Every structure is written in C-alpha cells, then in structure tokens.
Amino acid sequence: ADVCVGGRSDMSLEGLRRTFREHVFYTQGRFPMGASRNDLYMALAYTVRDQLLHRWIRTVEQLGREDIKIVSYLSAEFLLGPHLENNLINLGLYEDVRRTAEEEGLDIQVLFDQEEEPGLGNGGLGRLAACYLDSLATLEIPAMGYGIRYEFGIFDQEIRDGWQVEHTDQWLRLGNPWEIARPEITYHVNFGGRTEPYEDEQGRYRVRWIPYRTVKGVAYDTPILGYRVNTCNLLRLWKAEAVESFEFEAFNVGDYYGAVDQKIYSENITKVLYPNDEPIQGKQLRLEQQYFFVSCSLQDMVRIYKLLGGDLSRFSSHFAIQLNDTHPAIGVAELMRLLVDENGMDWEPAWEVTCNTFGYTNHTLLPEALEKWPVDLFAGLFPRHMEIIYEINRRFLDEVRNRFPGDEDRVARMSLIDESGERYVRMAHLACVGSHAVNGVAELHTRLLKEEVLRDFYEMMPEKFNNKTNGVTPRRFVVLSNPGLSRLITGKIGETWVSRPEELRRLEKFVDDPAFREEWRRVKLENKKNLARLIRERTGIEVDPSSMFDIQVKRLHEYKRQHLNVLHIIALYNRIKQDPAYDVCPRTFIFGGKAAPGYFMAKRIIKLINSVADVVNHDSDVNGRLKVVFFPDFNVKNAKFIYPAADLSEQISTAGKEASGTGNMKFSMNGALTIGTLDGANVEIREEVGAENFFLFGLTAEDVTSLQKNGYQPMEYYRSNPELQAVIERISSGYFSNGDQELFSPLVDSLLFHDTFMLLADFGAYMDAQRQVEEAYRDQERWTRMSILNVARMGKFSSDRAIREYCKDIWKVEPVPVTLE
Ligand code: 26Y
C-alpha cells in the first residue's frame, strides 16, 4: 500500500493536480488542449477513485477476516445517483478540488453535470438501498450490496405535447469510471431442465438438477465510501453473459448462428430494469433476473466463506443477508439448494442456517402488490427450487396445523402456494418463513402488516416482527444538495450534525433570532432562484422565486394522489375566474415523477397536470399569481435542485397506502413544511416536528377501511360540495383539453364512480388545510420559525439511525474501523 502514497494516493493539492493531469493524458489519451468535457470529467473521476482504492482494498481485506460478520444487502435496485460530488464530500476534498479546478480554469459544476447517473432503480425502494449503503459505510459496518448491473436503467422521461415519452437510459455509453470489472469473478446460473434423484457415496438420497441452459454472471464492483471514515464498502453488481465453453463448439459444429442466438439470449437477462414499481404479472425475464442475481450473490458468499475455511453450519455467523422486499426471496430456496444439494448438508441444519441468515423487509401494504409467480412458470424455470419450496411448505404447514389444530382455512391462507385458483408461489410467505426477522418501514406500516397483510404470520411468530422506520442520508440530501443551508447550520452549531443529526436540535434556540431567520430565508430564496433557472431551461416556464414553491415529486401513482393536488389548483383557479380580484397567495406548483409506461391512469394524470399548466400559466386573469410546472425526468441528479427549493412538501397519499415515503423526509430536512395525511412516516415526522409545524388533513387508515367496508359512495361527497362540482366540471367540460371531453373522462369517471383512493372524501379537508398553509405563509416570520423547527427536529430520519437499528436488532453486527497503515 505504501508504494501508492506519494503516487496517485497523494491527497495533497499538488498530488491531486498531478494525478488529474496524468489521467487526462494516460487514461483518456488527450493533451489538455484537446480534452473534451467528458475527458475532463473522466480524469477527475479517476483522480477521486484513486483516493478510494487504498481505502477500498483495506476494507475488503477486513471482509476477508473470519472473525467478523458481514451485512449483505440483496436488492434488485440501487438508485445511486451521481458519485463524483458525493465522494468528494465524503473524502473531505470538495473545497480543495473545487478551488484547484478553478485555478486550472475549470468550472467544477460543468464537470459534475457531465456524470450520467446510474439509475438502477425505480424510486423509493431503490433509493433506500443506496442511502443504506452510504450509512453502512459511514458507520464502519463491513457490508456488501449485491444487485444487477442493468445495461439500461430507469428510462429518461421527456414531456412531449403534455404526454410522457420514454427514452432508453444509455448510462454506460461514455464509460463508467466508478466500476471495476472482475472478469475472474464469475458464476454459472442454471435455468430449466429437470431434477434426478441419486445415491451419494454414503448411500444417502440426493437430488441433482440437470438444467436446460446456463448463463454466466460476471461481477462489476463499485466502491461505496463512508463519510469521513476509511470504510469503503463494495457494491457488487452482476452482468449476464453467455457461457463460453469449447465443448460447446465441439457439440455444435457448424451451429455458429445457434451460438450467437444463445449469446444474445443470455445477455438479455441484465439488459433493462423493469420500469414498474408494482409487480409485473408473470414476466419470465423478470423472474430470471431475480434468480440470476440472487444465485450469483449467494454463490459468491459461499465461496468467500469457504476461502476463509469456514464451516457452512456457521455461515450465519459470518453473513447477515437482508432481502430488500421479496424480489430476492428466491434466495431462501437457493441457499437451501447450495447447502443441501451442492454441499451435502442435511435438511434440518441447512434450514436453521438459512433462517438465521435472512431478514426480510416489506415495502408495501397493497395486497395486490404482493409478488406471486404462477407455479407452472416457476417450476419450469426452477424445477429444483420448486421441490425445495414444496418441502419447506410441507414442514411449515405441519407446524401451522400443530399450533392451530383443525384450522384448515388458516393453513390455506398461510401456504407458500396460493391454490385458490390458478396456482401461485407466494414470495412474501417464502420470505417470512425463511427469515428470522420481518420488518416494515414505518410504525404505521408495521402495525398494519401485523394486523392485516401478514396477520397470520404475526399470530404464529410475533417475535420475528419489528419496525425499522426508513431514513435518508443527510450527506447527499442536505450537505450535497443544499450547501447554503449546510453552511448556515455549520456556522451556528459546528459540523458534527452531518454524522449526528440529533444535534440539529441545537438550532431550536435560534428560532427567536431575527437575523438568523433572515439568513434562513435568504438561503431558501437562493435555492428557489436556482430551481427557477433550471425550470426555465428545461420547460421554458418563468416562475417567481418569491412565490410559494409547493412541490410534489415522486413516482406517479393513483394512491399518491397527484390528482388531488390538481383538484386544489383548479379550485383556486376557479375562484380567480369568478373574481379576478380574489386574494390568492402567489404559488408555484411543481410536479415531477415518472409513470410506469403501461400505467394508463398515471400517464393521464401527467397529461392533466400539463394541460392545467397550459391554461393557468397563460390566463391573464391569473396574472402570474399561480404557475404550474411539470419538471421532466425527475431523478436523483436533479432532485438536488428540487428538495432544497421547496416551501411546501405534498405528502398526500390515501392513509394506509404509502408504506413509508422517503421524499417526505428529504423535503422536511431541507426546511419545507409538509401538508400530509396520517400515512407512512408522515405520522412520525409530525410527531417529531410537532403537530403545530405540520399541516395535517384527511381520513385515517381506520376511516379508510371502515368507509370501504360500509360501501364508499364518492357521489355523496360530490353532491354535497359545490366547489368540488365546479372543479370536476372544469375538467369534464373539456376546458383544459381544447374542448375534448373524452381526454380526461377516464380520470373523472374513475373518481365519480369508484374513487378507490378516496380523493373526493378528502377533498374538503385538503382545501381547508391548504387554506391554513396560505395563512401561515403570509406570515413569513412564523413560516420561517416552523421551517427551522422542521430541520432542527428531523434527526431521527437519518439513514444512520435506521442502519444502527438494523445492526442491533436484526443483523447483530458491530463497526470494524479501517486503518490505512
Ligand atoms: C416487482 C417489481 C417490478 C417492483 C419493483 C419495484 C415492485 C415494487 C418496486 C418498488 C417499490 C417501492 O419503491 N416501494 C416504496 O418503498 C419505499 C422504501 O421503503 C417506501 O418509502 C415507499 O412507501 C414504498 O412505496
């Protein structure tokens, strides 16, 4: 290691400068004069990566120690966002590098802009995985992330004529300086075929799997550095390739085109992220993706463990594996297969190891969103896993019958196989049975899991269930995104809040300091100006930074109710149309988020937002007092400009539907006030910041359930609220669609006749809460106090706190500090 010091690991300014120049020449192959923006970005990225490598190798050495336990986070998605700026912050090099770049005549922002973000996730779940990697490294926990190296991540969104248009995300086009290919770390992954019983040398009954086809997984590693520590963990993503074997040629003489087909078919597995945030029914390729990355990851862990000379019966003392939702749940059966079939263990000890190893995090309450796979599809791809699952099920249902004699309804409800119609494998049941810990992602969510979705499992094994309220990393979402606010805070209370955000409480005593409040507003205004500039660039719309920025950014979903927000906008618009002198509080409504390409209603809602925007933004009666913006292509990269610019955060899902939400936390940590329902983590955010600093409205989860039970009639709410009628009438008349009364009729009809997510029931309460928002905003001193208190009291929602709880309650792991010498 020492040979590096003084070489490219030299952290002095002079060293960094020299390394950078070397990379321009030796890595990018350019003279400085001929270097493109991308060459310069690449050279800087390599310069920073050089700083990580030393730490990375030292950390990986620790991972190879027999006496420590490693967290292994299995996730089909990691929504990382750009690395460069984050790594500079975590290294503590941001200021030095910015200044050095400046001296070289480079604007570092331009280089940051050059980085393509790895959009290897859809939304909340994938971003949570990325925050957890950040916190694991920051807390010096030995950990690995395992996932899929999608060649195309989440699609890029364009808005054309008000509609969403999807473009493939070619994030690897210009190369990826953050990953290191490990062509020597590969595993074979099998699919299809059949199983065959045989007797081993000791005469024991065994089963072997004779697959139909085999694909190769190749490891690609990305370093994940913690904040101001030496721990630099490993994110290992798998790429699918064709197996190359010379027998293959021998057996297929002349079948060159067959070999080409096979290659293309194999590589398909990791081609593209499914752009859905709810299960896709029965897509074989998706199931192949899930098994592919899980099998590679488990084989990797078993190999590492055996290298250490470990005895597989003690595997769970070396690895704690967390399942990020049910997407990797087939790992339960795969680990059993590896232990029993491939390593000769008996069933019972293998099962004990498996249960002690896995933990399962659930992320949904919508029963229709629970993952299940048709038995035929599953058994066709994984004949051996199907047998293993039947055996797990047989033993498990015996236990159920033992505990609840005569309760065959319960047995059917809890079975790993849904046999009520077409037969399905229930992945959540597999995950529950095969894990020692099951957790929800917010207090309310965990309670509802126990009471509803997983009630039978809770009744049988309450000790498994626990809550782990989500958190987000203050490094990316405050320090990186909001340097102005960070400087202001650090100036008052020092910089330790970045790793210990409980200390933000010390800001509370400054709420009564008018000069501090003035500064606070100045920072927010600056952030709003920055966003206004970006909005002008991306949409051509001019917005007024002194208006209230009212923002809802998240995936489009009916349960998230972006259209409730739209109903409020139209109500305000109607008031202005009725009385142009109406005293409306100037507001800029900003939306952002992607719709699943096949989600008809979600796409219509985007079109509605843009159509309302067109009318409102150009109506002279409105006179600029209301503006509506749909910010295209919301992603981690531009989120950095959005959260810090918000005055008001919209968290308005139907109570009982949003498992947690994490955007709610990002806004509030940046000084936005929340208007929200008692859903997900909103409940806990309100508890922390104080009810008086949160705009609450709407039905509770219990109200929603009982309304549903008693036959919810949206029409009743419609009939009794004239303002609501006028709003709906505006839409259905074709006012926002050049007279076309059909365009939005699917939306309107769904609201009037079904309204599954109870917008009409909540409309009145939402309007009232918005009225209170307006009142509060008009008193800028009061608003600022509330904003400061939100930031001061959001410490709980750091992902560091969440990860500490996982470590203590589920994984039983301790920090292992890394030294460089
Ligand atoms: C099966 C597949 C296509 C699929 C892919 C992604 C299914 C679901 C998802 C993503 C789900 C998701 O993002 N859930 C969100 O997880 C967040 C982190 O826990 C929560 O805050 C949020 O409430 C929940 O909707």
Radius of gyration of the chain (CA): 27
Compute the distance from residue 120 Cα to the ligand 1 centre, in Å: 13
Ligand 1 centroid–CA 361 distance in Å is 11
**Ligand 1 atom 18 nearest Cα:** 125
Question: Residue 250: is its pLDDT beyond 60?
Answer: no
Nearest residue (CA) to ligand 1, atom 6: 277
All structural domains of the chain, each given as residue ranges with its CATH number in brackets, are 1-65+83-115 (no CATH), 73-81+117-469+805-811 (3.40.50.2000), 482-797 (3.40.50.2000)
Q: What is the pLDDT of residues 144-167, one digit of tens each?
A: 999 999 999 999 999 999 999 999
Q: Which of 100, 364, 662, 674 is catalytic?
A: 662
Most distant CA atoms of the chain, gap in Å: 91
211 vs 380: CA distance, rounded Å: 10
pTM of the model: 0.97
Give the pLDDT confidence score for residue 246 in this predicted structure. Answer: 47
59 C-alpha to ligand 1 centroid (Å): 30
Q: How many angstroms does the Cα of residue 363 sit away from the middle of ligand 1?
A: 6
- Is 554 a catalytic site residue? yes
| In 574-618, beta strands by DSSP E | 587-592
What band does 279 get if pLDDT is binned at 50, 70 and 90? Answer: confident
77, 364, 453: residue to mutate for ligand 1 pocket, most atoms within 8 A of CB: 364
In the chain, count of helices (H) and strands (E)? Answer: 32, 24
What's the gap in Å between 746 CA and the centre of ligand 1?
26
Query: What pLDDT score was predicted for residue 245?
Result: 61
Per DSSP, helices labelled H in 94-158 are 94-103, 108-114, 124-138
Catalytic residue among 8, 239, 363, 686: 363
The structure tokens 């499992």 sit at 457
- Other beta carbons within 10 angstroms of residue 338's beta carbon come to 21
The predicted-structure confidence for 484-502, as pLDDT tens digits, reads as follows: 999 999 999 999 999 999 9
Mean pLDDT of 296-308: 96
Q: Give, rounded to a whole angstrom, the gap between the first and last alpha carbons of the chain.
A: 8
As a whole-number percent, the residues of the chain with pLDDT over 70 amount to 98
Kindly report the protein residue whose alpha carbon is nearest to atom 16 of ligand 1: 125
Checking if the pLDDT of 177 tops 70, the result is yes
Q: Could you count the other beta carbons within 10 Å of the beta carbon of residue 307?
A: 10
Q: What integer pLDDT is reported at residue 661 of this predicted model?
A: 98
Atom of ligand 1 nearest to the CA of 279: 1
Catalytic residue among 560, 561, 587, 686: 560
Q: Which atom of ligand 1 is nearest to the CA of 659?
A: 23
Average pLDDT value over all residues in the chain: 96
> 59 with 231: CB under 8 angstroms?
yes
- Whether residue 170 contacts residue 152, with contact meaning beta carbons closer than 8 Å, is answered with yes
- Of all residues in the chain, the percent with pLDDT exceeding 90 is 91
With cut-offs at 50, 70 and 90, classify the pLDDT of residue 555.
Answer: very high
Which of these is catalytic: 528, 555, 587, 657? 555
Instruction: Give the burial string for 258-275 (b: 16+ CB within 10 Å, else e).
Output: eeeebeeebbebbebbbb
Most informative mutation of 79, 122, 444, 449 for ligand 1 (most atoms within 8 A of CB): 122
- In angstroms, what is the span from residue 556 Cα to ligand 1's centroid? 12
Q: Which of 666, 785, 793, 796 is catalytic?
A: 666
Q: How far apart are CA 766 and CA 675, in angstroms?
A: 9
Range with lowest mean pLDDT among 14-23, 391-400, 691-700: 14-23
Tokens of 319: 């690895």
DSSP letter assigned to residue 811: I
pLDDT one-digit tens code per residue, 403-419: 999 999 999 999 999 99
Q: Which of 524, 554, 627, 785 is catalytic?
A: 554
pLDDT at 230 over 50: yes
Using the predicted structure, report yes or no on whether residue 420 has a pLDDT greater than 50.
yes
pLDDT in tens, 58-104: 999 988 888 899 999 999 999 999 999 999 999 999 999 998 888 88
At residue 1, the pLDDT reads: 42
Residue 343: pLDDT over 60: yes
pLDDT bracket for residue 4 (50, 70, 90):
low
pLDDT value at 2 more than 60? no
Atom of ligand 1 nearest to the CA of 126: 13
Residue 813, pLDDT above cutoff 70: yes
C-alpha to C-alpha distances, 761 to 181, 336, 681, 756, 766, nearest whole angstrom: 54, 49, 22, 10, 10
CA 785 to centroid of ligand 1, rounded, Å: 34
Band of the pLDDT at 3, cuts 50, 70, 90?
very low
Nearest residue (CA) to ligand 1, atom 14: 125
H-run or E-run covering 36: none
Testing ligand 1's pocket by substitution, the residue of 277, 289, 470, 664 carrying the most ligand atoms inside 8 A of its CB is 277
Task: Tell me the pLDDT tens digit for each residue of 422-475.
Answer: 999 999 999 999 999 999 999 999 999 999 999 999 999 999 999 999 999 999
Q: Which two tokens mark 650?
A: 């919209």
Please tell me whether the interface predicted TM-score (ipTM) of this complex is above 0.95: yes
Which residues have a Cβ under 8 Å from the Cβ of 471 and sit 6 or more positions away?
131, 135, 662, 665, 796, 797, 798, 799, 800, 801, 802, 803
| Contact (Cβ atoms closer than 8 angstroms) between residue 585 and residue 685 | no
Q: How far is CA 27 from the centre of its chain?
A: 33
Which amino acid belongs to residue 575? R
pLDDT of residue 465: 98
What confidence category does residue 209 fall into, taking pLDDT thresholds of 50, 70 and 90?
Answer: very high
For residues 238 and 270, is the Cβ–Cβ distance under 8 A? Answer: yes
Residues with CB under 6 A from ligand 1: 122-125, 128, 274, 276-280, 327, 363, 371, 441, 470, 658-662, 680
Residue nearest to atom 12 of ligand 1 (CA): 125
Please say if 8 is a catalytic residue. Answer: no
CA–centroid distance, 124 to ligand 1, in Å, is 6
CA of 703 to the centre of ligand 1 (A): 24
Residue 662 known to be catalytic: yes
Q: What is the mean pLDDT of residues 4-15?
A: 75
pLDDT surpasses 60 at 248: no
Which atom of ligand 1 lies nearest, measured to the CA of 680?
A: 23
Query: Which single residue is written with the structure tokens 């290191």?
Result: 180
Query: What are the DSSP calls for 409-461, one per residue?
Result: HHHHHH-SEE-SSS-EEEHHHHHHHT-SEEEESSHHHHHHIIIIITHHHHHH-
Ligand 1 atom nearest residue 127's Cα: 18
**Dihedral, CA of residue 314, residue 316, residue 317 and residue 320, to nearest 10:** 160
Inter-CA distances, 108 with 40, 98, 245, 478, 733, Å = 10, 6, 47, 19, 51
* Whether residue 555 lies in the annotated active site: yes
